[in-house]
Structures are given as structure tokens and as C-alpha cells.
Structure 1
């Protein structure tokens, strides 16, 4: 028989989440939430958001749809989508995990008391529902909506690699190809070595416990220079594909006809698993890194940020439009984190005032041009996706806090 319990919607969501976690804990991702985000969310959850901060077109209710992103939903209710902690705070009583919002959930906008709050409980609800005890398990982690369109940056989470020159120079390299082929593609066999005259003590490429090892293949460590100082701040290696080690790098002792012993070098055998571009002799190998989580909380940096774009990712690309990727000259050492949103400024320019008979030179200010979000950080450099832009972003353009 159905039982009647005075359960709030939040409790029902929690029960559904527990049922899901019972079967998907092993595959669930642990998304970090900073103390600053918690503090902001708690503050907003208590007081709500001023009505002036709402978008002029904010609806009374919104049903989350498949294909939505947290960035887009933030923009539905707030003027500033990067202020995600406020949106999370507005939902804090009903949505405990800001990363887990699912298609079908309905968000209601409450404007009572001159403040705005979001809730999953509709107006006039008495918070009493009928429930029937039953067990239903479903993996919700795969259905939660992402922060931004992940298909746009999925490849960039693994492809760009920032290294120092010494590390790249001493990385294992492809030394030969099967049948002396000039270029390699998926399914081809190649041979590589880790040791060399410059790295005689390097660990040889080898099978690990009899199992193959995965490596990424890179080429041309291009120096990235600070647009202001022209100093090299990092090296960006060009990603060309992946290989797996199927045979270990070894040496073999042989005896010649004259009775003298010589040492033969036997390179490691590689199979090309995937190729973004055709590989060749001289390309470098670096181990496959651990997979990073692929969800972000858009937010403004807590500390003051100011820097410049150092490169636009992609061959022969000068201007970055929406959904393209740029590298900036600030990283972990400067306090940048994944999810930080920055405002890009137009480049300041000087022109002649033709309305003045004296023809003075005037400088136009660098005004706001759009927004970028950091999604991968290194020590002194980061990659960011262009979220929205009015004019194209190019090398040298400045960025500041939003």
C-alpha cells in the first residue's frame, strides 16, 4: 500500500541520488568545490539575489532540457552567467551538488521579499507527496548536463602539451618505420628508442608487466613568448596521435666472424593507434597522462588577474572566434584555476581626430570584447575557450577580471 510521508522535494532528489550512487559510485567523478564557492553559495542561499541582478527575460520557471549547459541556464536567470555560485546558492536547499542537474528538472523563480531565489518546488506546493517503496537504479552521472558544450573542448583536454625544452628534447623518439615508410598512419608499425647519447641513463621503452603502454606522439615544440617581454614562457608541442608499445627496447650481444662481441640496439616496437596527422621519424613520445575530470564551475577569479593572449590554437589561425581555444600567459602560479572566467579587451588604438583643426592624436580605450573560460592550466600558461566574442581574439589582446 502506498504510504503518505511529508517529504520535501529535496529529500526525494537525495533518495534518487542515493539509488543512483549505489550502482554508479565506481564510475562517478569527484568534482572539487572550493571553500570560496561554498561561502558565496551559503550567503546567497540565505539572502537570495537582488532583483536587479536577474536577466530582464528571466522566466518564472524553466525546465532543464537535454543539451542544456550550466552556462546557458545561468544566462537564463542572471545577467552574468559566470556568477555560477549565485545560481548554485539560489538552488542550495534543493540541489546539493551543483554539478548534478538533470534534464526534466523544473526550476522555479521566487521573487518574494524583493530578492530572487530558485527552487525545485512549484508555487502553492504543500511539499507532501505520496511515495511507494521501491528500488530503481539508474546511472545519473552520464545524464547530468555539462557546464559548457564539452564536444568543443574535449580534444583540447588531451591534445595540447606544455613542456620545457629539455624534457621534450630527451623524450623517446620514433627512429624507424616499417618498410622505410616516410609517413605513418593508423595501423602502421614504427620503432622507437628512449636512450640516446644525450640521455644514456633513460629508462628504455618497455612492456609493463607484459602489457602494452600508451604514449602520445608530439612534434615541433614551439616556443610561446610573452607578447610584452618577448620572453619564452613555455613550449607547446603539436599533438599528432597515439601509439602503444608492443615490444620492449632492448640490446643483444652478438659475436662477429672475427670473434669480437658487439652490442646491437633493438628499438621498441610501436603500433599506431590513432593519428590526427601522419607521424614520421623524429616525432617524440610522452606517456599518456591520467584523465582529468571534464566538468567546470564558471566563476570569476578571487584574485585580480591581468594578462595577454599568447597564441591562438590551430595551424595558421590568427583570430579566435566563439568556441575556439587560446593560450594565455597566466597559469597556476598566478592563481588561475579551471572554470575561471576572464573578460577580453579590445586592443587600444591611436588615431587622428579629424574634427579638430590641430589634428591631435587620440587613443581609444581597450574596451570589453567578450569572455573566455580557463579549462586547462599549467604553471605559467593556461588554455581557455572563447565563450562569447564581438570581434575576433588575437595574440596580444589583454584580459582582466570579468
Structure 2
């Protein structure tokens, strides 16, 4: 793999972190990692050169017409031995990693080779590539047509499901108290009654949330190295829409007077991953974000550990296309699209060939790749892209290498 000199490494490292923080980190973090104009210019010039031809995949095509069903990761693997070097091949500057070039079905990609370096573009010899869209009966934004990073069914459910909260968030969230037909377990299409916190009732007023996600059991996520609690992961159950807010309802009492009774809010359960019951909690559904981020290697050193395997049923090992939580987040420079190398945790064994029966630790072995797709302050979620053996809590994730 091409090794830049120390100055270029330092520039790229600083610029990459600043670009990563620019879109997802708080203001204090942006101020902490300033980038000078000279540093930015140097890094952008380096990126624009592309990559050495030796980094290309053996059968990288000179031209390729993007098709529906393609993904950025798939095309990256078509052109590169190391797909995480996609931004360099595409000639992206570091700022563009957080806001990548959009690639659409119907575009032609051209592989340019010059003086041992290779770049990819949508134009040949400086000509303008015209994107031809087929006629449609409804309007669509270009962002809706752009290639996703991965096959949508692999990642879309996890873009809104996992949530990290503090210790008190679920305790004070609106809770399911009953159903319309006194069912113990609720399914999609059922109506349920929900009671909010007295200080913040659940109202169907302008500006108030109308769509919610339903959760249970905020489980502490502990750093496998330090034992520190990084946050609480809530178990996702399903979705619900608010039909009627909670409030008071007046009715006649036995003495001919009028009494005001509390009436809970009414929601309709619109989808269910697991059965819902009284006591489960509602949190406002997050807005759906555009997710065609670019797969790329982190520009800062990363040394992370697997904290948990996502899912309600505990398992010892995660397989390919499963999701894991790791002990690094926004505060550590993590951004969606970063590709990490997975290392198995080496076992401690007794050396039976040693008369003293000494205990030794086997080395960590490379086990595949994972991509970060959702970040919180101190925790991130990553999809296991390709692995050789099962991944478990405590396994290490680092910057990808050869």
C-alpha cells in the first residue's frame, strides 16, 4: 500500500478529522481541530491525484455504466483491491467525504490512467457527462435516485432502530397503559392508550411529534476495556402514530354535577418487530436521513472494541450483515461511512508443550471489515461487511491495512 510521507500523513490526518467533525460534531470539537488553508490545499491536491495503478483490482473496467441495484461498496470493490480507498480513486477532497459526489443509474464511469496513477470520473477528456433520466409520472429528487452505500435491506432497518439514551430517558418517556380490547400483547394495526409524563403530556398539537418508536429495557453498554458505562441501548419494538392527545374529559357524575376525568392518548401501532405490551415506552421517531455516504478509511487512528451485538436475543457471535456496537463515537472522530478492520480477540491458552504449563495469549487475527453507519456521542453502530469467523464482544476494530 502506498505510504505518504510524514507531512502528508499529518495534513491528511488533521484535515480528515476536521471534515468528519464539521458535519456531526459539536462546535467545541470543530474549534479544537482547526485546519489551515495551506493544509487543506495540500490535502486536496494529494487527493486529486488519485491512487497508484497497483491499487486497482485486476479486472477494473475502463468504462462502466451504472445500473439500478448497484451500490457504492459494490463499485468500490469492482475497481479497488481495498474498497475503502474509494475517495482517493474518485479524487474527492476530504471535505467531500462527508458530502460525496452523487452517482446515479445511467451515468458512465471512466477510469483514467496517467503516469502510474489512476482516477475515476463521470467525464472523459474534460467533456461533460449528461445524466439521462427516464420519464416518470411523479417527481423524484436526485438524492432519491443516487446509489446507496449498501443494499438498502441490509442497513435501512438499523438507521432508525438502535438508539442510545441516558439512564432516565426511558423512565420519563410516555408509556403504554392499555389497549382498546384489553389485549396483553399488541400487534400491527392495534390501538393502544398511552400516558405521558405529567410535566410533558402527549398532545396532538401543531409542532408536537406525531410519529413514535416503541422501546423497552434500556440496557447499559459497558466499555469492555475500562468497564465504564458508555450509554444505554433501548430495545426497539415497533412504530406508532398518535391519533389523539391525552387530556381531561368532562362527564356527569352521580350527583348531577360535572366531573373531569383524565383520558390517556390514543396511538395506532403501525409496525411491529416484537410484540408490544403495557409498560413499553414511546420516543419521537427520528427524521429519515439521506444515507448515501461514501465508504472510506478513517483519517485518524482508531482503536475500538465491540461492546455488544445488536438484537434482543443474546448471542455469543455475530455473523456477516449483522450489526455491532463499538466503544467509539462522535467524540472520537467517528462518522458514517468509515470502514474498519476487525481483529479477533486472541485466546489465552495453556502451553502444553511447556513443562511449566505457562499461559500464553494467541495473537489477534484479521477477520474482515465493518462499516460505521450510525454514531452517538460515545458509541457507534457498524455493519459487518465481510468476515471469516464470528465476531464477539471484545473483538478489536482498527484502521484497515493491506
TM-score range, shorter chain: 0.7 to 0.9
Summarize the Cα distance change of 1:294–1:90 in structure 2 as closer, same or farther, 3 Å threshold: closer
CA distance 1:344–1:89, shift in 2 (3 Å): same
Q: 1:312 aligns with which of 309, 314, 334?
A: 309
Query: Who is 1:44 aligned against?
Result: 47
Residues 1:73 and 2:75 are matched in the alignment: yes
- TM-score computed with the length of structure 1 as normaliser: 0.78
Q: 1:12 aligns to what? A: none
Q: CA RMSD in A?
A: 3.5
Equivalent position of 2:175 in the other structure: 173
Matched, 1:270 2:272: no
Any unmatched runs of 5+ in structure 1? 1-30
Which of these two proteins has the greater Rg computed from alpha carbons?
1
Alpha-carbon offset, residue 146 of structure 1 = 1.5
Do the aligned partners of 1:240 and 1:275 also contact (CA within 8 Å) in 2?
A: yes
Displacement after TM superposition at 1:186 (Å): 1.9
Give the aligned partner of residue 21 of structure 1.
none
Which of the residues 395, 398, 401 maps onto 1:397?
Answer: 395
Q: Which runs of 5+ in 2 are unaligned?
A: 1-21, 25-29
- How far off is 1:50 after superposition? 1.6
Which string of whole-angstrom CA distances, capped at 9 and with x for unpartnered residues, describes residues 118-163 of structure 1? 34456xx795999xxxx99985433322222222110111111211
- Give, in whole Å, the separation in 2 of the partners of 1:211 and 1:276: 25
- 1:2-401 map, 5 Å: 40=43, 42-45=45-48, 47-89=49-91, 98-120=100-122, 140-195=142-197, 200=198, 202-209=199-206, 213-252=210-249, 257=254, 264-314=261-311, 315-353=313-351, 360-401=358-399
**Distance (whole Å) between structure 1 residues aligned to residue 391 and residue 321 of structure 2:** 11
Q: Is the 8 A contact 2:89 2:118 kept in 1?
A: no
Distance 1:206 1:103 in 2: 44
Shift of 1:366: 0.9
State the secondary structure of the residue aligned to 1:165.
Answer: coil
8 Å contact from structure 2 (residues 351, 359) kept in 1:
yes
Shift of the 341–170 alpha-carbon distance from structure 1 to 2, 3 Å rule, reads same
The answer to whether the 8 Å contact 2:107/2:129 transfers is: no
Specify the SS of the correspondent of 2:143. coil
